[in-house]
Every structure is written in C-alpha cells, then in structure tokens.
Structure 1
Amino acid sequence: MPRQPGPSVRLKLTLSYAGFLMLAGILLLAAVVVFYLWGLPDDAIHVTGTFLINRSGLVRAFAPFIVVVLAFLLVFGLVGGWLLAGRMLTPLTAIADAARRAGNGSLSHRVRLPGRSDEFRELADAFDAMLARLEAHVAEQQRFAANASHELRTPLAISKTLLDLARDDPTRDRGELVERLRTVNARAIDLTEALLLLSRSDRRSFTREPVDLSLLAEEAAETLLPLAEQRAITLDVTGEPTRAVGSAALMLRMVTNLVQNAIVHNLPAGGVVTVHTEQRHDVSVLRVENTGHPVAPELVPTLTEPFQRTTERARTDEHAGVGLGLAIVHSIVRAHDGTLDLTPRPAGGLVVTVRLPGAPRPPRGRADQPAATTGGRSDDASAAARHQ
C-alpha cells in the first residue's frame, strides 16, 4: 500500500533514548534543587572559600551548571542513542536484506543470526524456516509443472503420431485407430481431472459434514472388486464405524485411490489387500495394507509427490492411473487437517495409515436409526469385498 515518507525507526529510537535521558536528568536536577537549595532559609549563609553566598546567590551560581549538564545530556543522548539504536536494529537490517533477496527470487539465502536466543533471533529463525518451506514449495511446484507438462505431452504426441499414420496410410484400419485414439484421449482426460481434483483439494473449497469412513471403505472395495478378482487379489474390509468431518466425495476418492494402488502395486497373483477403520478417541483411522514387492525405505517419502511410481511397470499398467494417486490422497488428507503415514512391510508391500480428526458423536437416539438403514448395504458390501 502507498505510504507517506516518515522518519526511520533508528531516528525514532534515538529521539526516544535522548528524550528519556533528558527527562531523567531534569528530574535529578529538580530533586537537587528542591531538596538542597529550596530547603534552606532565605538568610542562610554558605561559606565557599572566601565568598559568602546566600540562597539566592547559590541559585544564580548553580543555574549555568544546570544548563551545561542538560546540554551535555542532550548531546550524549543523541549520539549514544543513535549508536545504540543502530546496533540494536542490525538484525532487522539483515532480515530486511534477506526479504529483499527473496523478493528478487533468491530463496536460498538465509539470515542465520548468531548469538543467544532473543526476540530478534526468534524472528530471524522463523523467517529462515519460512524461506525454507517456501523454497521447498516452489521447487515442488516446478517439478510438478515439469512432470505435468511431460505427462500431458505424451498422450498428445501419441495422438499426433496416430493421426499422421492415418493420413499417410489411407488403407490403415480406421477402427483400430479410433480405438487407440479413444484410449489415449481417455487417459488425458483422467489426468486433467486428477489435476483439477488436486487443485480443488489444495484450496479446501468444500463443505464439511460428518462422514463414516467404514461405509466409504466398503463402497470403494465394492467398486474395485472386479479389478481385484481379475488379478486374483483377496480384498478384505474390516473395522468399525469411523466418523470423520469433511467432504464425502473427496474422502471417497481418497479411499478409492488407496485401495486401487494397493491392488495394482501388489503381487502378480495371490496378493492380499486389507482395509481397516477404527475410532481412537477423537481420531478417525483408516489403514490400507497390501502385499507386494519390497519397497525401498528411501523411496517412501517421494511416493506422495506427483507422478511418482514405485516401478516402471506401473507406467504401462492400464489400471495404474496417471501417477497422482498418492499425491491426491496426501492433498485431501492435508486439506482435512489429518496425517498420512507410509510404512514398508518387511515381507513386501506397503501400509498406509490415514488419521483424520473425528466427528462429534451424535445423540444415541439419532444414531440408531441411520445405522439400521445402512446396515444391510454395509453387510452386503463387506461380504462382496471379502470374496476372492
């Protein structure tokens, strides 16, 4: 916002120090005058060397000394205050310089004030931490933009190649061409929708309402049951009603992504996927565990980044998605103020644990009726999910 020019903070501190010192000097001299000079009677005589001085003469003799002292205090306060203010504001100068560098695009610079902890150093440390998070966020966004451009360019390049082949070879089977173009186009649409969902979850632009994670787990398992049967994967849903607060649509997408990843990144046959929900005090817990190939511990922190896959084979799997599954899950969990933990299983595979703030329990009279209406659906979905 536009501002009118004004005095610097250093000048204000200097005037404040000098004014306070002058005030202290005036009060001190006033105390001397009141308690020493004016406490004497008018006819009192003081002997100073060979001079005889009464109270009036002593006041006249003392007045120039007062003026000299006050003048000295003023000069001393201004000079000392200017130097002291400059020394005190040195950390702010370093922080301002770092802020200017950050404004010019240099996010790697840090203040790193030496010395013991105080208010200025706490401010500098907080500013350094903010710069570190900002630098990491910008780097992540740059990687995301580069990966998104690469992922979007791939289906477009394939479409262009297919169209060029059709133009150069009019005798080519048009049905095969249309089917391949349809597949490529569908993958590009899936990628675009995933990017839009990722953006929407980051903005937290959704309505919060009570959601039962156990019902969402059963719905996701029922939807993905044909995929599990196709790959000979045992899909099991266990647990208890688990109430959280948030967007039912986003949470369903979160659970679906986790279950789909657990099915796709599993053993070629005979694998197991277990989905478990439970309520721990005020925390709603969703755990998805799957068998599979061993996952390197150093690879785990990168799995929630966009377009990261555990194996190169996942790129050619038609059900592997677009590489945004766990990134979307992480974004949804973060938007719901929850935590996401990924732990490799010693025997292979992964354990994904989502912890979300729990919803307040409704009155017992109101909770009984909805449970009765959804119980049949829940049992059917659970039975279907346990089918191999």
Structure 2
Amino acid sequence: MDRPPGPSVRLRLTLSYAGFLMVAGFLMLVAGWLFMTRVRHVGLAFDPEYRLAVARSFAPLAAVTMAFLLVFGLVGGWFLAGRMLAPLDRITHATRMAANGSLSHRIRLPGRKDEFREFADVFDTMLARLEAHVAEQRRFAANASHELRTPLAVSKSLLDVARTDPPRDPRELVERLHAVNTRAIDLTEALLLLSRAEQRSFTPERVDLSLMAEEATETLLPLAERHGVTLDTGGDIAPAPGSPALLLQLTTNLVQNAIVHNLPEGGWVRVRTGVRPRTVLLTVENTGERLAPELVATLTEPFRRGTARVHSERGGVGLGLAIVRTIVQAHDGTLTLAPRPEGGLRVTVELPAPPVRTARSPAP
C-alpha cells in the first residue's frame, strides 16, 4: 500500500515529551507567580510597587526557564524516544527479513518481559511455526511430485514394452495399466482431500462419531475378511461439531490403516468412542508388528508407509494418516499415536464436544 511520507514516531514522541514538559513548566511558573502575589504572608499582595518590580524581574527569568525546558525537552525526548523505540527497530528488521523470505531469523529481544518483548516472543514463535510449515509443504510438494511421477513413468514403460513387442498378450498390459491408473487416481483424490481439509472449507454440523465408526467398519468388513482381521466396534454416543464427510473419511482411514498394517493371521481391530467433559474420543487399536516410538512419531508425515516407502497394495498411497492429522487439525482436535507393547498401534482422536444447549424458560 502506497502512503505519503509522514513524521516518524520518534519525532512525534519527542514533540509530545517536549510539549508536555513545556506545559508543566508553564503551570509551575504560573503557580509560583500566584503564590508570590496572592498569598498574604509572602508580603507582596499589599505592595504594588514591589509587585511590579518582581514582575519585571520574573518575566525574563520565566522566558529563560521556558527556553531551557524547550531545549531540554527536545533533546531529552529525542533520546528517550530512541531508547523506547529501539526494540521496535529490531522487530521491523526481522519483519522485513521474513517478508523477503528469510524465515530462519529470530528477534530474540533481551531483557525483562514487557509489551515489546512479549510481542517479539510471539513473533518469534509465529516465525518458527511458519518456517516448519513451509518446510513441511516443500517436502510434501517434492514427495507428491515424485509419487505422481511414478505411475506415469510405469505407464510409459508398459507402453514402450508393448510397442517394441507387438505379439505380446494385450490383456496383461491392460490389467497393469488399469492398476497403475487406479493408483494415480487414488493418489490424486487423496491430495485433493488433503487440500480441502487444510482449507477448512466446510460448514460444521453435529456428527456422531459412533455412527461414523459403524459405517466405516461395515464398509471395510470385506477388506478385513480378506486379511483375516476381526473388527470390533463399540462405545458411547460421541457427538462432535464438524464435517460428516471429513470425519467419515478420518474414521475410514484409521480403520483401513489398522486392517492393512496388521498380523498375517488372527489379527484384530478395536474401534471405541467415548465422551469426556469437554471432548469426545475416537480410539482405533490394532494388533501388528512391534513399532519403535521413533517410527510412530513419523507415521503422520505424507507418504510414510510403516517401516519403509514401498509401492504396493499393502502400502497404499501413503497419505492415510497424513489426511487424518489434517482433518483433526481442521476440527481443532488432537491426534495421538502410541505403539502397543504387544505390537500394533493405538490411535486416539480427541475432538471438542459441542456446546451444551441450555433450556429456555417458557415465556410468561
């Protein structure tokens, strides 16, 4: 925004300090004059000649005093304003660097806590979060580009092989191209869903997480049967404000992840919902391999699949838990992942409970 130049804050503060000092000095001189001429015990109120002589000598002294106060107020005000605004210069410098793309710079304002230092600390915290978010987005963009390029490269390779080997059975080529194309579509839809959740482009509605859990388990029951996994759903009615579509996607991703990453035989998935005083809970727990806490801490990163970045049907597109984390953040909730001592994973989603509606008293 283009604005015409104006006086600096330091100059305005200096003039304010000097003006205040001049007014205070003038009032002090007036008070002194009234004291000498109006108070009886001073002895001047009843001697007109002596009062006139004092007035003649008082006027030059008052003028010199006011001139001294003016100079002292300007010099002292300029110095004090500079000292007071010094932290603001550091904050402005950091802001300019951030605007130019340098998010690693921090103000780190020294001294005890005051308004400037509190603002500087909040600004440093904002820069740290923004730097982490930008770094995460860059990693995500690089990973997404790599993941989207992979099915295209595979398709090109299959077509090149078919072109150089015309007698080959085209049905195998069609099946493989269909699988690669399906994977690319699934990945694109997952990216779009992730973007939608990040933008919070939804109108909150009252959603029962227990119903979402039942619907997700019913939908994924055939998948669980193919993997030999038993599904167990239960819990309390758990209403939460949010998007029904996104919360259903969240629950589906958690249950599907628990089914796919499970034991080869005899595994189970337990889904529970609960209510706390101010929050509601959705817990998905499954058997499986023992997971290190360091690995669990990275599972919500995009394109992380268990213990490795592999391309397989078991690995999915690598965005399941990343989408879950984004949906939870969009609903102002918390996501907790913890490894089970016996093996497997326990995922807990905690969302704010809807506000309690107070009954209105009947009209008289």
- TM-score, length of structure 1 as denominator length: 0.88
Larger RCO (CA within 8 A; separation ≥ 6): 1
Deviations along 1:189-237, one digit per CA (max 9) or x if unpaired, are: 1000000001111111112211111111111111111111112111111
Deviations along 1:15-39, one digit per CA (max 9) or x if unpaired, are: 0010111111001011001111344
Looking at structure 1, the residues matched to 227 and 351 of structure 2 have their Cα atoms a distance apart, in angstroms, of: 31
Q: 1:172 to 1:16 in 2, by over 3 A?
A: same
User: Deviation of residue 44 (structure 1)?
Assistant: 2.4
Q: 1:334 aligns with which of 305, 329, 335?
A: 329
Q: Do residues 317 (structure 1) and 312 (structure 2) align?
A: yes
Looking at structure 2, the residues matched to 62 and 75 of structure 1 have their Cα atoms a distance apart, in angstroms, of: 20
Name the counterpart of 2:3.
Answer: 3
Looking at structure 1, the residues matched to 50 and 150 of structure 2 have their Cα atoms a distance apart, in angstroms, of: 105
Q: 1:36 to 1:42 in 2, by over 3 A?
A: closer
Looking at structure 2, the residues matched to 120 and 316 of structure 1 have their Cα atoms a distance apart, in angstroms, of: 52
Looking at structure 1, the residues matched to 174 and 233 of structure 2 have their Cα atoms a distance apart, in angstroms, of: 39
Looking at structure 2, the residues matched to 363 and 16 of structure 1 have their Cα atoms a distance apart, in angstroms, of: 53
| Correspondence 1:237-276 to 2 at 5 A | 237-276=233-272
Say whether the 8 Å CA contact 2:36–2:44 is kept in structure 1: no
Q: Sequence identity, in percent? A: 67
SS of the residue corresponding to residue 323 of structure 1 reads coil
Give 5+ residue unaligned stretches, structure 1.
Answer: 46-52, 365-388
| Cα RMSD, aligned residues only | 1.8
For 1:330, give the aligned amino acid.
R
Looking at structure 2, the residues matched to 128 and 282 of structure 1 have their Cα atoms a distance apart, in angstroms, of: 31
Name the counterpart of 1:115.
Answer: 111
Looking at structure 2, the residues matched to 361 and 14 of structure 1 have their Cα atoms a distance apart, in angstroms, of: 54
Looking at structure 1, the residues matched to 28 and 142 of structure 2 have their Cα atoms a distance apart, in angstroms, of: 71
Say whether the 8 Å CA contact 2:280–2:353 is kept in structure 1: yes
Q: 2:131 aligns with which of 131, 135, 159?
A: 135
| Correspondence 1:133-172 to 2 at 5 A | 133-172=129-168
| Correspondence 1:78-89 to 2 at 5 A | 78-89=74-85
Looking at structure 1, the residues matched to 301 and 143 of structure 2 have their Cα atoms a distance apart, in angstroms, of: 10
User: Deviation of residue 238 (structure 1)?
Assistant: 1.4
Looking at structure 2, the residues matched to 327 and 140 of structure 1 have their Cα atoms a distance apart, in angstroms, of: 12
Q: 1:278 to 1:43 in 2, by over 3 A?
A: closer
Looking at structure 1, the residues matched to 24 and 147 of structure 2 have their Cα atoms a distance apart, in angstroms, of: 73
Looking at structure 1, the residues matched to 137 and 238 of structure 2 have their Cα atoms a distance apart, in angstroms, of: 34
Looking at structure 1, the residues matched to 82 and 218 of structure 2 have their Cα atoms a distance apart, in angstroms, of: 69
Q: 2:200 aligns with which of 186, 195, 204?
A: 204
Name the counterpart of 1:307.
Answer: 303
| Correspondence 1:1-388 to 2 at 5 A | 1-39=1-39, 41=44, 44=47, 54-312=50-308, 315-359=310-354
SS of the residue corresponding to residue 220 of structure 2 reads helix
Say whether the 8 Å CA contact 2:283–2:347 is kept in structure 1: yes
Say whether the 8 Å CA contact 1:37–1:59 is kept in structure 2: no
SS of the residue corresponding to residue 172 of structure 1 reads coil
User: Deviation of residue 115 (structure 1)?
Assistant: 0.8
SS of the residue corresponding to residue 221 of structure 1 reads helix
Give 5+ residue unaligned stretches, structure 2.
Answer: 360-364
Question: Is the deviation greater in 279-288 or in 126-135?
Answer: 279-288
- TM-score, length of structure 2 as denominator length: 0.94
Say whether the 8 Å CA contact 1:261–1:320 is kept in structure 2: no
For 1:253, give the aligned amino acid.
Q
Name the counterpart of 2:362.
Answer: none
